[in-house]
Structure 1
């Protein structure tokens, strides 16, 4: 059975089917993610000299013995796409729609960011600590917006590779909630342990019970997002992975579970308020971590910034 699956909703008012609106630019993926391929596309009838580019994030999964996999995946994509397309914040990536004709699996349409993630940006350009601190504040602002939604929107995979700079130099957080779509054997079997460096201990400790048996997908929370935020601060100011001197990603799981944390970058060490904040964000007990609203306040941000 191919996509779109007959009899299953393939779009919503907020997240329409863009299959006929876009023409792919790339024959092969422009970039590869852990469970997706990224293609660039432009409007089908675009005639401008420099047409606006869009990014199509096409899911990539292994084989499945589940006869309902395609229909379940389409339902998830449409529901998640509809929820995310309603988000409006300058630091949160805008979801435009869904496409069904670019790859084997459906794709999510979003804006394309020419320079790539902040990880790529830092490899190619030099940024001051003041600029990096501005990034941190913008990330905090976007995450505060998500967590203030009712119900709160959990990112689930906050890290440098999912954070971009737009043409105006503003931070844009992408891949919000994608973990809830890809948390199936067809996708998790293809994922690496690389994300463990940002993952809160309660999500990796088999002795910690799930907070709610009714939740589908990983038991990510706003508190686990806060933990990942702290690790992202380390990544930004060190321009390296958390636990930069540990080559094995899996080893980081055991380090985090034993209570070890990465060494703070020199700049963060020199800012007492920032180093204290990071330390509170990655404490083992989730309930003792500050909220994103508290974090913004402690970073000197106003209620509207």
Structure 2
């Protein structure tokens, strides 16, 4: 693993916060490229050892996850601060932010790009689930799906991820704000639940709904109500998609979405199964994807807004 020493990164600018991380944009003198740096938040507190352990765990997971649709770890950065040494993860900088910021900035995203995004998320997740041992992401949501300069997917933020076989409990997940709406129902009513592959598939079902609607699920609803109602079988309002039933492949994608958020984890498709479905959907738009990407790139050039490179703390 490449170790970038103190002083290697120039022009660091805070662009995102969330969980335990602060995310900066900067430029590496060694790599000669723009980078994103994730540093520990509250590194001088009494929980420094735990935060360092979490950061190094994320590093280890990212090292294992080498795929075109998973954000690449470039190196580790160290910086002496007083009597301590701070560490951070250095990743490729994503100029177009996240899937969440895309819809915030451009509500009318072309359908060809939407279906490309869904297909690439599935391909990236299928790769993670087929590693030996598999990696369960546990926090798949729009602000953890970044977009590179070509508007291709880069799945990020493995701070909550687990390698299959490790122990966990739901209390550890609930302590992270902003993920409840994407959590599988079986994780909401079992204190000893251990996330498995079906957990991520459920999250993808909710993410698919956001790609169609451009919205976040359950806006303004209290967390306790979300937890109770999702565990009872409620899901985001499917009728918001009714106006798109004439759009090519929307009905097929809607069917996949509903299968992915099935209340019975055993009845959800694998990401391998999902990839066969999304490949057909994306293929239907292959002749229009280049134009769709260019049109969105042109629109993004005219928009002046902060980059969203990490999960928001809200």
TM-score (norm 1): 0.76
- Find the counterpart in structure 2 of residue 42 from structure 1: 27
Q: Does 1:99 align with 2:81?
A: no
Q: Which structure ranks higher in relative contact order (CA pairs < 8 Å, sequence separation ≥ 6)?
A: 2
- Find the counterpart in structure 1 of residue 38 from structure 2: 57
CA gap of 1:53–1:267, structure 2 versus 1, over 3 A, is farther
- Find the counterpart in structure 1 of residue 288 from structure 2: none
Q: Secondary structure at the match of 2:129?
A: helix
- 1:99 positional shift: 2.1
- Find the counterpart in structure 2 of residue 273 from structure 1: 252
Paired residues of 1:158 and 1:225 also in contact (CA < 8 A): yes
Q: Does 1:260 align with 2:234?
A: yes
Could you say which structure has the higher strand fraction?
Answer: 2
Q: Secondary structure at the match of 1:300?
A: helix
- Find the counterpart in structure 2 of residue 240 from structure 1: 215
Paired residues of 2:115 and 2:278 also in contact (CA < 8 A): no
The 1-side partners of 2:105 and 2:234 are apart by 31
1:69-108 alignment, distance < 5 Å:
70=49, 73-101=51-79, 106-108=87-89
- Find the counterpart in structure 2 of residue 151 from structure 1: 133
- 1:94 positional shift: 0.2
The 1-side partners of 2:275 and 2:37 are apart by 32
Count of residues paired in the alignment: 266
1:296 is aligned, of 260, 267, 275, to 275
Unpaired stretches in structure 2, ≥5 consecutive residues: 282-314
- Find the counterpart in structure 2 of residue 220 from structure 1: 195
- Find the counterpart in structure 2 of residue 30 from structure 1: 15
- 1:153 positional shift: 1.2
The 1-side partners of 2:89 and 2:280 are apart by 32
1:245-288 per-position Cα deviation (integer Å, ceiling 9, x unaligned): x4434421122111100012416972332222111111122111
Paired residues of 1:16 and 1:97 also in contact (CA < 8 A): yes
CA RMSD of aligned residues (A): 3.1
- Find the counterpart in structure 2 of residue 118 from structure 1: 99
The 2-side partners of 1:52 and 1:60 are apart by 24
1:50-95 per-position Cα deviation (integer Å, ceiling 9, x unaligned): x5211111232598667xx51x554554354234224221111001
The 2-side partners of 1:57 and 1:178 are apart by 15
TM-score (norm 2): 0.74
